[in-house]
Amino acid sequence: MAQASASIDSLGGLLESLVRKFHDEGESLYLVGGPVRDAFLGRLGNDLDFTTSARPDVVYRILEEWGETVWDMGIEFGTVSTVKAGQQIEITTFRADLYDGVTRNPEVTFGDTLVGDLVRRDFACNAIAVEFLLIDDQLSTTLHDPVNGLKDLFNGVLDTPQSPEVSFRDDPLRMLRAARFVSQLGFSVAPRVRQAMTDMAGEIQRITVERIQAELDKLMLGDAPWDGIDLLVETGIADYVLPEVSALRMTEDEHMQHKDVYRHSLTVLKQAVEKEDEGPDLVLRWAALLHDIGKPDTRAKKESGGVSFHHHEVVGAKLARKRLRALKYPKSTTQDIGQLVYLHMRFHGFGEGQWTDSAVRRYVNDAGELLPKLHKLVRADSTTRNPKKAARLQRTYDHLEDRIAEIAEKEDLASVRPDLDGNEIMQILDLKPGPDVGRAWGFMKELRLERGPLERDEAIAELRAWWESENRHE
């Protein structure tokens, strides 16, 4: 409590002049929602959300005088924003919206009371407000907690101010927000919230793909994304937004024994997060979660017993790209995640000490700029409980990284290109631009990967010999 008060009191110098302007207009001003919650959790950021009795035109007029820059893109919903001394400030008029139960877009209705505004919010821990007042010309604060959000906050529980069925029917996106807060805050959901999410999972289909993607990203970038994903899977919401992850919970039988691929994937995600060294890595995290989604479609019983998943990385890469496109992820993000899924098994095709120079070049070339992420993904993919096996896998990968460094000292592995470029190929073979040049360039690229850098005379001789062979076959 003291830490929260100190965090909020520290805003006094910035906000006193703003509070005075609202006071002079006869209007109230409250810090509300996430900033209040985060202040109590000791993580107050630079985005401050307020609610007020003032109507939007009054808010706009005040902020135009007080703020550095004003945005009114959300004014039809009662929201006006500004920036002041590095703080992003958003002020919204009390709301008392009505929902049609079909979309998540409410009929915007401005309210007259703080309580009416708070009870319509997603979770009780986000329905706490701090009122800024001028008493005897001194700035003061008062806490308002009409739905016992502080109790939930201190217990680390997500519960809704009103019944969860009503809350989720009004806005099904709140179910995804529950999973996001589980990931970000380490909270659990109240039993009645979990039950409502399970019963109403299909309602998530009312939400646009863009909104779903935004919430999934926030979930994946949280401190414990595996817990947020697990909540979505256990409640059935993932069946609609990430069905390939739900499908990892393959039914086991006595004839096709294999490790729990779903739990394995969550563990890989957790271990990948532990290997991050420059903050949350969205591409790595998605690749870790999705790396085995090709297994359900490739599972086959082996004659010797057990089960195999041949080429699951190829199938998985296709499924990952398809799902990410459906979620409207940027093309580059989709390609990078798909490529990591595709490459994650390449390492296991070689034993310790069996990496030829050619194999190393191809590994680095195929990974390209994704190589550091691939290193982390492959290492995270070791979830064996056998300490000797785990040590052997890590030692083998250490050896591969040593081989990469060893060859990189001799040649530029970061940008492996043919020893002859397209212009040189056309000149040597007397060709005009066209498919033949591309084929010749491809041959030289393969030669470069296989044998490393060649002297120019040797490269030219190899090119001419290949060209002669190609024409002789024709």
User: How many Cβ atoms are within 10 Å of 332's Cβ, its own excluded?
Assistant: 9
At residue 308, φ and ψ (nearest 5 deg) are -125, 160
User: What is the structure's pLDDT at 148?
Assistant: 94
User: What is the structure's pLDDT at 353?
Assistant: 57
Cα dihedral 203/209/215/220 (nearest 10): 110
Query: Which H or E run includes 133?
Result: strand 129-135
User: What is the structure's pLDDT at 53?
Assistant: 95
Q: Tokens 């294999």 belong to which residue?
A: 258
Residues 6+ apart with CB under 8 A from 315: 294, 297, 298
Query: Which H or E run includes 48?
Result: strand 47-52
At residue 393, φ and ψ (nearest 5 deg) are -65, -45
Q: Tokens 């592995």 belong to which residue?
A: 413
* Token pair in block for residue 129: 């407000």
User: What is the structure's pLDDT at 253?
Assistant: 41
User: What is the structure's pLDDT at 435?
Assistant: 82
**Series of mean pLDDT values for 10-residue runs along the chain (474 residues):** 62 85 94 93 87 95 93 90 92 78 67 91 95 90 94 96 94 97 97 98 96 97 98 98 93 53 95 94 97 90 75 93 97 96 84 70 83 92 82 82 74 61 75 80 73 74 76 64
Query: Model-level pTM?
Result: 0.82
N-term to C-term CA, the chain = 83
User: What is the structure's pLDDT at 254?
Assistant: 40
Asked whether the beta carbons of 52 and 29 are under 8 A apart, the reply is yes
